[in-house]
Amino acid sequence: MNKIISLLITSFLIFIACLLLESCSSPGDSNLKNEETKKTIYPSDIISFFDHWNLILGDGSNAGQAINFENEDFFFTKNDGKNNWVVFKTPNAGNTHGTSNNTRTELAQLKKWSPMSTANLKATLKVMNVANTGDARVAATFSVVIGQIHSADGHENEPLKIFYKKFPGHKKGSVFWNYEINTAGDDNSGRWDYSYPVWGYDFSDVGTEKNNYPPEPEDGIELGEELSYEVEVKEGIMYLKFISEGHETKTFTKNLVSSSYTKEADMPNQVKKLFVPIGQDGIERENAYAKEGLFFKLGSYNQTNGKDPVVNKVWCSGAETHGGDIKKQYADGNYAEVWFKSASIFQSDDAISNAGYFKANDGLSKKTVFPSEVIPFMDKFKMLMGDGTNVEDLMNFEHKDFFYTIIDGNRHWVVYKTPNSGVTSKNSSNTRTELHQKDEWTPEQGGKLTGACKVMQVSTSGDARVAASFSTVVGQIHSGEGHENEPLKIFYKKFPGHNKGSVFWNYEINTEGSNDKRWDYSTAVWGHDFSEIGSSKNDYPPEPSDGIALGEEFVYEVNVYKGIMYLTFKSEGHETKTFTKNLISSEYINPSKIPKQVMKIFAPIGQDGTEKPQAYKGELNYFKQGAYNQTNGKDPEKNIVWCAGAETYGGDIAKQYENGCYTEVWFRESTVGSGTPPKKN
């Protein structure tokens, strides 16, 4: 019996000890197992070449060499049940790198090499997502760049961009590659791409309307379908090879050191169709990229952005961005995602450091570029802004609501923006963000002002019976003495619902006697003149067939020489127009000389005066340039010519901007100086 009891006690003690041992040891064993299960697989564990690259993330930051690195928003690993993949993911909108409009999660090579040396990049990948919103008429929409060759020098152009593009509703997308010319000269704004299809379409296949898509390509590549590319550069020639199971293998060659596009006649028809209409019509330097350092890039360079297609009809997609909220973009498919299974790189021993590229471009998108850096004549002007603020010194000055710079995909522009209602100058009913020349001159002394501009917005509200509605003045001559009238106002005007607007210029008489009877005479450049109005508030005249669209560039020159004003207006695809006007001898000195246009518009409101015989002779004048909004919220019953009756939201500028009740004008180039003898035809 004692033996049995002793055996039971021993067994019980062993059982308790085992329980205690299990309770002590199990958590440790479990943690070890969990640690093994949860062990991070970094991208550098899958593709071991990250010591050759810096990684640029979708927030614009340079993460450096991505060894044992991941970022849950942009750069991480996935397993598809068969293989581990490196994921590059980037939204439609975030912070960008360099001067680009587009976000990227992309590797950029740490060394650069001559196209005459040897370099090689291979990759196997699958595209998992491209943005599902955007404008189908914009070539870049719904696409992502998955590999590049980039120049580190000069214009920093791109002799190779490998694209994947898929329209919404299609199962199959296209793979194509683009060659960007290395533009001759110092001005790179004329650069363009020529596109070669691999499977499916090339870059130029676009929709006829925002949501109209071309037919699905029969030989296209689906999302999630694996493909490989190889890029080799040797002795100045680029060799490309594209492979995908079930598709024909494609090969291409391109000379990188001797251009095929050195003359305008060399420009391909594809380029004439796509790029020339937006003013990108340059030629290439003869030796192409021969004297520049090149480097590879690889990843997800999202080509779909939220910028308005009015800005650039090739590169600005107008896609959904949720105000830059990355999580919301990811939630509803507004991003690009590319998975890489394998990749390798080779560079010759003579490759050198590419640190200069990163130094020049890291953080560049966050750096302020002041208007005075784009148009250097700002020291000759002061400015009144849309909130009534006077600014005397414009050097290194900007204001994010009224006066700043922007990039349209090609170059910087100076933006002048002003609401329908704000604080105005003492003698005006209208707000302005407008330059005011500091020096003054008489018509006899003369002066010259030029401007290359595009109007991006005019008010969408107003009364069509009011001549000033839906218009803005982009350039002026203003008198600084006497009645302080305006011998020149250059207008842009577009009625709601029209694609094209009108450019015209007005001459305001220097009234004899009381200035209450002053009036403007308007001359059409392209489209209608000032007097073309509606018969009721929301009745609009026919759209002008020869008009200028919002976002369409035009150039003007105002040259006053020995009392005569010479005007020249130019725009791609439109007839160049020239005009002359005597500023020191009037043709309106008696009532019989008042034009019929004036009798129609101004006489009914009692403005039917005559002009001083000497017009503006001897009076000091000055130039003005910018956005002088002619659409205001004043009651048309008070003045049916100038009081537009537009929406102003009680003067709330943010609400006016939000609802299109403002004007915005961009200038890329302007000059001011002395008048010069007119050119002889």
Taking the CB of residue 229, how many other CB atoms lie within 10 A of it?
Answer: 23
Rounded Cα distance between 136 and 211, Å, is 6
Q: How confident is the model at residue 99 (pLDDT cuts 50, 70, 90)?
A: low
Task: For residues 642-659, give the mean pLDDT.
Answer: 95
Better pLDDT: 679 or 290 = 290
Q: What is the pLDDT of residue 425?
A: 62
Residue 396: both structure tokens together: 């290194």
Distance CA 204, CA 412 (A): 25
Residue whose entry in the numeric block shows the structure tokens 């009740």:
661
Mean pLDDT of 635-649: 96
pLDDT above 90: residue 602: yes
Contacts of 624 (CB under 8 A, 6+ apart): 434, 435, 436, 437, 475, 476, 477, 478
Residue with the bigger pLDDT between 415 and 2: it is: 415
The Cα 377–Cα 399 span in angstroms is 18
Using CA atoms, how far residue 285 sits from 149, 182, 276, 334, 411, in Å, is: 18, 6, 18, 38, 19
The DSSP secondary structure of 49-75, one letter per residue, reads -GGGEEEE-TTS-B--S-TT--BTTTE
Kindly tell me if the per-residue pLDDT of 18 is higher than 50. no
**Residue 126, beta-bridge partner list:** 339
Round to whole Å and give the CA distance between 413 and 645.
31
For residue 2, give the 3-state DSSP assignment: helix
Q: How many angstroms separate the CA atoms of 66 and 50, rounded?
A: 6
pLDDT tens, 313-362? 999 999 999 999 999 999 999 999 999 999 999 999 999 999 988 888 77
Predicted local confidence at residue 36, as pLDDT: 45
Q: What is the pLDDT of residue 27?
A: 47
Span 288-302, average pLDDT: 97
Residues in the chain: 681
Helical ranges in 448-601 per DSSP H: 596-601
Q: Identify the residue whose tokens are 């970094």.
A: 42
Q: Please state, rounded to an integer, the average pLDDT across all residues of the chain.
A: 92
Torsion sign over Cα 72, 74, 77, 83: positive
Q: DSSP characters for 388-414?
A: S-EES--TT--BTTTEEEEE-SSSEEE
User: What pLDDT score does 411 carry?
Assistant: 80
Rounded Cα distance, 292 and 357, in Å: 12
Instruction: State the pLDDT at residue 278.
Output: 86
Whether 7 has a pLDDT exceeding 80, the answer reads no
From CA 445, how far away is CA 447, in angstroms rounded? 7
Identify the three-state secondary structure at position 664: strand
Lookup: tokens for 668: 């890329």
The contacts of residue 168 (CB under 8 Å, 6+ apart) are 132, 133, 142, 213
Distance CA 390, CA 319 (A): 37
pLDDT of 630 above 90: yes
Main-chain phi, psi angles of 29, to 5 degrees? -65, -40
Q: What percent of the chain has pLDDT over 90?
A: 86
**Contacts for 235 with CB less than 8 Å, ≥ 6 apart:** 116, 118
Query: Domain extents for the chain?
Result: 107-366, 376-673
pLDDT at 367: 75
Instruction: Please report the pLDDT score of residue 422 as a whole number.
Output: 82
Residue 364's Cβ-side half-sphere holds a number of Cα atoms within 13 Å equal to 15
Token pair recorded at residue 103: 């976000």
Per-residue pLDDT, 97: 66
Identify the CATH number of the domain defined by range 107-366: 2.60.120.200
* CB contact burial 570-586 (16+ within 10 A = b; e otherwise): ebeebeebeeebebbeb
Model confidence pLDDT, tens digit, residues 420-469:
998 776 666 799 999 999 999 999 999 999 999 999 999 999 999 999 99
Residue reference for tokens 């120049």: 151
C-alpha triplet 396, 400, 405: angle, nearest 5°? 60
Domain pair 107-366 / 376-673, same fold: yes
Hunting for tokens 């039917």 — which residue is that? 608
Task: Report the pLDDT averaged over residues 546-574.
Answer: 96
The pLDDT score that the predictor gives to residue 429 is 76
Q: Taking 60 as the threshold, does the pLDDT of residue 138 lie above it?
A: yes
pLDDT of 165 higher than 90: yes
SS3 content of the chain, % helix, strand, coil (to 5): 15, 35, 50
Could you give the CA distance from residue 531 to residue 552 in angstroms, rounded to a whole number?
Answer: 23
Instruction: List, in order, residues 6 or more apart from 10 with CB less than 8 Å away.
Output: none
- The position carrying tokens 């969990």 is 34
- Comparing C-alpha atoms, which of 237, 289, 287, 284 is closest to residue 265? 284
Would the pLDDT of 363 be above 90? Answer: no
pLDDT, position 148: 98
- In the predicted model, is pLDDT for residue 98 greater than 90? no
User: Mapping DSSP to helix (H, G, I), strand (E, B) and coil, where does residue 556 land?
Assistant: strand
**The CATH fold of domain 376-673:** Jelly Rolls (2.60.120)
Whether residue 572 contacts residue 279, with contact meaning beta carbons closer than 8 Å, is answered with yes
Average pLDDT over residues 69-89: 97
Per-residue pLDDT tens over the stretch 493-549: 999 999 999 999 999 999 999 999 999 999 999 999 999 999 999 999 999 999 999
Torsion-angle region of 648 (φ positive above 0: left; ψ -120 to 50: alpha; else: beta)? alpha
Average pLDDT over residues 281-290: 97
Q: How many CB atoms lie within 10 A of CB 218?
A: 8
Is the confidence at residue 364, as pLDDT, over 70?
A: no
182-207: average pLDDT: 96
Residue 667 pLDDT exceeds 70: yes
In the predicted structure, residue 575 carries a pLDDT above the cut 90: yes
Beta-carbon contacts of 36 under 8 Å, excluding residues fewer than 6 positions away, are: none
Mean pLDDT throughout 16-39?
48
pLDDT in tens, 466-489: 999 999 999 999 999 999 999 999
Identify the H or E element spanning 359. Answer: helix 355-361
Q: Does the structure show a pLDDT above 50 at 33? A: no
